[in-house]
Amino acid sequence: MKQKKKNEGKLANSSICAPKIQKKKKKTKKANQLIVCSAPQKLNQISRGKCVAEPSNDDKTDQMDVDRRRTTAIHFKEEIIMEILSRLPVQSLLRFKCVSKFWEALISDPYFKMKHLNFAKNDQDSQKLLISQMCPKDFIFSIYCCPLSSLQPVEDVQKLDFPLNPKPNRFVIRCCYDGLVVIQVLDNLDGYRHNLLLWNPSTRESIVLPALEFKLDDCSRFGMGYDSTSGEYKILHVHQVLDRSITNEILALKGGFWRRIDKHPRGFLINLFFTPSLAFVHAAFHWIGLSRKKHFVVVSFSISNEVYREIPLPEETLSLRGRAYFGVSMLEGMLCIHSNTLHQKRFTFKLWVLKQYDVKESWIPLVALEDPLIFNAVPTYKFANGEVLFLCNFFGDLEKAFRTPSGPFVSWPQCEMHLDGYAFTESLISPKSLTY
């Protein structure tokens, strides 16, 4: 018997290949097939609501074959494809760049990147924990990206390749913002020289930042934020010198150099150990300082007009004067402060959140912990169930550990010594695109 040839339906200018339509052996009623297709078109057509693909005149024969098979072609508008893609993980989008020229242009477009970031900020699966670890045996440093969603398994933990080659002997994570990370690295050839990198751990892109004007050491603190007025990202470097005064400099990434900024008239003391990075909330950087009356306050520095302000701490903290250390952080876009107090050989840790920014009466206590071994706990992330994740220091142990008020937090393999841990949102933002 002669075998019948099998015709395969083809779609012209299609960036998504439809599944081959095969003839079934049994005589059954053929079901309609769904074909999703797109074509490379200009991004400015999105606002016009044009269809993604239209059949070309050159493929009438193939189209007739498809029609004979009762195939229904569904043409999605570009804005629909954008909405779908903006909800996908970064790693999937990086792979999908090879689907077509249109998809590559769309995923690389700055507008799409910001749209994807805005959705990712409210997506629990897009929240990750960046952990730096060190092996005590050989002092080799490593970086891991860990899931913060309970729906993601431990197997999703990724060991990341370091952005520099050769890998530096030592590095420190300084701050995170919008999926971008500022990393301090020690020069392998010059053990006294440090460099700063701006790195996207999701896309693996990085750039070397300009050299600082002030000294870079353990007394430095960094913060990063977006200035909506100028439309650019900025990094603030605050350095505390021996006399406890503060020197500041700021880097506008489009400017390409660090610029000194005026000191606060009275100068401020940072609780360095309890504030690993500056909190960026409401378009301002924040850290802990001393007021004119020698009370602890939150110091804010506006990213746009570069104005200093003071935010009073909760009334409860006034009674802790002289017995507590304070730090500042950010959870769910809100300003937070935490205190560590030693009383009767036990440390008490308390966390407050400022529900309404710049309103002293809106400080609300969030967490209280007591533990004889924990002498420092820095809030890192707040889960959907309300629990807060802390990075803790313990007496007699150099290693740091993560825990929640209900106990130790173990969502990834525990194998090396924890050094730092920062929560960040996965994004497509390229560090290279921010410098021009």
pLDDT tens track for 90-113? 999 999 999 999 999 999 999 999
Residue 434 phi, psi dihedral angles, 5° rounding = -95, -5
**Does the domain made of 128-434 have the CATH classification 2.120.10.30?**
yes
- Report which of 414, 435, 434, 436 is spatially closest to residue 131, judged by C-alpha positions: 414
Q: To 10 degrees, the CA torsion angle through 77, 78, 80, 81?
A: 120
Cα(155)–Cα(135) distance, integer angstroms = 21
Peptide bond connecting 166 to the previous residue in cis, omega within 30 degrees of 0: yes
Q: What is the pLDDT of residues 239-281, one digit of tens each?
A: 877 656 678 899 999 988 999 988 776 666 666 667 889 999 9
Residue 113: closest CA among 90, 143, 145: 90
pLDDT score for 17: 39
Q: What token pair was written down for 22?
A: 């095969």
Domains of the chain, by residue range, sit at: 48-119, 128-434
Q: What is the pLDDT of residue 147?
A: 87
Q: How far apart are CA 285 and CA 110, in angstroms?
A: 25
Q: What percent of the chain has pLDDT over 90?
A: 38
Output the CA torsion sign for 311, 314, 319, 325.
negative
How far apart CA 343 and CA 352 sit, in angstroms, is: 19
Residue-wise pLDDT tens for the chain (436 aa)? 444 444 444 333 333 333 343 444 444 433 333 334 444 444 544 433 344 444 444 555 555 554 544 444 556 678 888 999 999 999 999 999 999 999 999 999 999 999 999 999 999 889 999 988 877 676 778 888 988 876 555 567 888 888 877 777 778 899 999 999 999 988 766 656 788 999 999 999 999 999 998 878 778 899 999 999 999 999 999 887 765 667 889 999 998 899 998 877 666 666 666 788 999 999 999 998 877 777 788 999 999 999 999 999 988 887 776 677 889 999 999 999 998 887 767 788 899 999 999 888 899 999 988 877 787 889 999 998 889 999 888 776 667 888 888 887 765 555 556 678 899 999 999 999 998 6
Nearest to 176 by CA among 241, 238, 233: 233
Question: What confidence score (pLDDT) does residue 412 get?
Answer: 56
| Per-residue confidence (pLDDT) for residue 168, from 0 to 100 | 72
pLDDT of residue 175: 95
- Which distant-in-sequence residues (6+ apart) come within 8 Å of 30 by Cβ? 24, 69, 70
pLDDT at 228: 93
